[in-house]
Amino acid sequence: MNSEQIMDELDLIARYFAPLAADGAFSLQDDAACYSCPPDKQLIVTHDALTENVHFLPTTEPADIAAKLFAVNLSDLAAKAAEPAACLLTFAPHKTVSPDWVAAFATETGRQLKQWDIALLGGDTIAMPQGSFFALTLWGLVAPNTMVRRAGAQMGDDVYVSGTIGKGWLGLRDAKQDIKQDVKENVKQNIKQNAPQNIKTKKTIYQCHYERPEPRLALGLALRPYIHAATDISDGLLADLTHICTASALGMTIQLEAIPFADKALELRDFLITGGDDYELIFTAPPQNRASIEACATKTDSAISRIGQVIAGKEVVFLDAQGQQIKQQGQSPKYKGWQHFDN
Amino acid sequence: MNSEQIMDELDLIARYFAPLAADGAFSLQDDAACYSCPPDKQLIVTHDALTENVHFLPTTEPADIAAKLFAVNLSDLAAKAAEPAACLLTFAPHKTVSPDWVAAFATETGRQLKQWDIALLGGDTIAMPQGSFFALTLWGLVAPNTMVRRAGAQMGDDVYVSGTIGKGWLGLRDAKQDIKQDVKENVKQNIKQNAPQNIKTKKTIYQCHYERPEPRLALGLALRPYIHAATDISDGLLADLTHICTASALGMTIQLEAIPFADKALELRDFLITGGDDYELIFTAPPQNRASIEACATKTDSAISRIGQVIAGKEVVFLDAQGQQIKQQGQSPKYKGWQHFDN
């Protein structure tokens, strides 16, 4: 209830963030920002927060938090095929945060704004007594009525996924040095031995992904003319496939063997499809667009996999290599990924 | 890092918030919302968060938190003379929150959306391991280039303030049962005895204001044609007057006796002008508009006071009844209100 002790930090914040602000933000010296929507465009608006001990660890580097904050919000725009335009940043670190920490966060914020051509229009800063958090309201632009919806899937559509599945789950365990207890010892060893490493950081690619996921923006924008429905994988493959089914009032068959698992250990499949934080795209498209979609993937240097079909029904059904329906191992009501409304 | 334990609550949240969502939010079942800006309007965008132990107490009622969250953001739109249009809500209560708590928060949210005709387009929900917070990204509309700026003050303008000053500070002390130690005992008694009470709740009007400030939206919208600059008082009268001076590269003289202090005790003045959370409007206007401005106040049933003039310079100078410059009692570098960038 008293912010006197953190005055210097807040002066510092103004010093670091104000230079990043765009026209319309009035150097972060007004009560609100002004934004002119270009004619014949609609705004696609998303908001995701990252909170300590939920979305990042107390030890996570400030630059990684800033990068991930942009990535998770850009991933939503990628899934809706919207060009990034502008944002508001909420910066709520612990009240004892150091100037160096703020500087590192601000530097990465500036890098992200530049990389994605996003105008910083304002935000809010708070010195937190406990439990820091960081949030972004990000909007992008689309031509009227061209937003790619979750609700657009059509019967007979192919179901695709970009990249690999489960690296968010693997990366979190890796970052925490904590592979789930119910995974057998030999599997743990296997993950650690087989995980490719980043040459520079010596971290596994999973941890690199967990800390700095890469939003599939180029792929999402390229796909727009060819696809019916899309979402990004923030809640886990199964949960996010189900979101498309629910929104489209249809079902899906998914070939288990076609899923591009990040780790091939069979014992992990349950965790990898429900773990969340993959930030890959799921999308559906009519079979006649297969060549165009392959071309989009090539053009944007993105891996994609065709993993199933949209059918009548209302849920996701997994099939084995023989086309027989199989139940998810260890299936329980809990294994539905992370549920939140994630606009 | 594990949200399995809070699944039921999140189902509950979807149940309570989804019915409040507007067109373009897709029942909160998509990755992002879609918003069409009306032609020939600009968006005025603000974002303020309320966090536990900074902006509200652990004991604060959920309906009061929801009401205040809207009030503080609407107050920014009021100061910019923007008509409220749409919002995104971040709902991040403690993970053990009860269904009744969520229901009470959602009910008040619905009431606020209806009262101010605001479309709920989406947001984010998080179950917090510690330290809850709630945030709103709110935008309003103005005709192009009609946003009232902090930077618009002109030499010779009158300086006005709405309502009374210091009730945010008094209300917080009242809510916490904690009048600052450096206030003399007789003054404490005086505050407690003289503070008008709300007949229904038996709370002082200060506490009522602290819990549920009323944004000056009608006044702000009515004033737009007649004023040069405005801001709302969130950081304290002195700090927010200074914001207008800094943004406008001008100074101000303020008649101390003309300030409508919420409590008349002289010993409190220092606290009342620096305490923040008043959510009144400060605005400047040319003297020839005095009659129009009085008419706006009457029409919107708002109290206003003319408290000073815009002059050359760069700071706020207080004058006594004889026009002599006086120094603020107990002035110190700390007494500058709450500093944050508050877009």
Q: Give the number of beta-carbon pairs within 8 Å between A and B.
A: 263
Other beta carbons within 10 angstroms of residue B105's beta carbon come to 26
Q: What pLDDT, on the 0 to 100 scale, is given for residue B341?
A: 32
Q: What pLDDT, on the 0 to 100 scale, is given for residue B11?
A: 72
For A223-249, b/e burial (b = at least 16 CB within 10 A) is bbebbbbbbbbbbbbbbbbbbbbebbe
Measure the CA–CA gap between B11 and B311, rounded to whole angstroms.
57
Report the sign of the C-alpha dihedral through residues B131, B137, B138, B144, in that order.
positive
Interface residue B23 vs chain A (CB under 8 A):
no
Q: Are B308 and B258 in contact (CB under 8 A)?
A: yes
**Max CA distance (Å), chain A:** 68
Interface of B with A in 222-251 (CB under 8 A): 231-232, 243, 246-247
Instruction: Give residue-wise pLDDT tens across range A290-322.
Output: 999 999 999 999 999 999 999 999 999 999 888
Q: Are B307 and B240 in contact (CB under 8 A)?
A: no
Residue B31 to residue A79, Cβ atoms within 8 A: yes
The helix/strand/coil state of B194 is: helix
User: Chain B interface, mutation test: which of A36, A42, A45, A132, most B Cβ atoms within 10 Å?
Assistant: A45
Q: Which residues are bridge partners to A144 per DSSP?
A: none
Kindly give the residue spans of alpha helices, DSSP state H, lying in chain A: 7-17, 62-79, 99-116, 167-176, 185-194, 205-211, 217-223, 237-248, 269-272, 290-299
**To the nearest whole percent, how much of chain A has pLDDT over 70?**
87
Residues near A230 by beta carbon (within 8 Å), at least 6 away in sequence: A79, A80, A81, A148, A149, A150, A220, A223, A244, A281, A282, A283, A284
Residue B28 to residue A343, Cβ atoms within 8 A: yes
Can you tell me the mean pLDDT for A34-63? Answer: 92
Interface residue B28 vs chain A (CB under 8 A):
yes
Residues near B200 by beta carbon (within 8 Å), at least 6 away in sequence: none
Instruction: Give residue-wise pLDDT tens across range A316-328.
Output: 999 988 888 887 6
Q: What pLDDT, on the 0 to 100 scale, is given for residue A186?
A: 67
Measure the CA–CA gap between A341 and B120, rounded to whole angstroms.
13
The 3-class SS string of B264-320 reads CCHHHHHHHCCCCCCCCEEEEECHHHHHHHHHHHHHCCCCEEEEEEEECCCCEEEEC
Q: Are B274 and B204 in contact (CB under 8 A)?
A: no
Q: Would the pLDDT of A339 be above 80?
A: no
Q: What pLDDT, on the 0 to 100 scale, is given for residue B186?
A: 66
Closest Cα partner for B219 from B284, B295, B291? B295
Q: What pLDDT, on the 0 to 100 scale, is given for residue B15?
A: 84
Mind giving me the DSSP string for A104-154? Answer: HHHHHHHHHHHHHT-EEEEEEE--BSSS-EEEEEEEEEESTT-PPPGGG--
Q: Would the pLDDT of A174 be above 50?
A: yes
Instruction: Give residue-wise pLDDT tens across range A33-44.
Output: 999 999 999 999
Mean pLDDT of chain A: 87
Instruction: Give residue-wise pLDDT tens across range A106-145.
Output: 999 999 999 999 999 998 888 888 889 999 999 999 999 9
Residue B34 to residue A1, Cβ atoms within 8 A: no
Q: What pLDDT, on the 0 to 100 scale, is given for residue B24?
A: 85
Measure the CA–CA gap between B329 and A278, rounded to whole angstroms.
57
Measure the CA–CA gap between B309 and B314, rounded to whole angstroms.
13
Q: Would the pLDDT of A82 be above 70?
A: yes
Per-residue tokens: A232: 């990004």
Q: Give the chain B residue whose CA is nearest to the CA of A144.
A: B36
CA distance, residue A321 to nearest chain B CA (Å): 31
Q: What pLDDT, on the 0 to 100 scale, is given for residue B120?
A: 96
For A76, the closest of B31, B125, B149 (CB atoms) is B31
Measure the CA–CA gap between B179 and B192, rounded to whole angstroms.
10
Question: How many helical (H) and strand (E) elements, i.e. helices and strands, does chain A have?
Answer: 10, 12
Can you tell me the mean pLDDT for A235-253? Answer: 96
Q: What pLDDT, on the 0 to 100 scale, is given for residue B334?
A: 40
Closest Cα partner for B86 from B135, B154, B48, B37? B37
Closest Cα partner for A51 from A128, A140, A138? A128
ipTM of the complex: 0.86
Measure the CA–CA gap between B127 and B108, rounded to whole angstroms.
20
Report the sign of the C-alpha dihedral through residues A68, A69, A75, A81, in that order.
negative
Residues with pLDDT less than 50, chain B: 1-7, 330-343
Interface residue B327 vs chain A (CB under 8 A):
no
Report the sign of the C-alpha dihedral through residues A118, A121, A124, A127, in that order.
positive
Residue B45 to residue A35, Cβ atoms within 8 A: yes
pTM of the entire predicted model: 0.89
Residues near B106 by beta carbon (within 8 Å), at least 6 away in sequence: B13, B16, B17, B20, B66
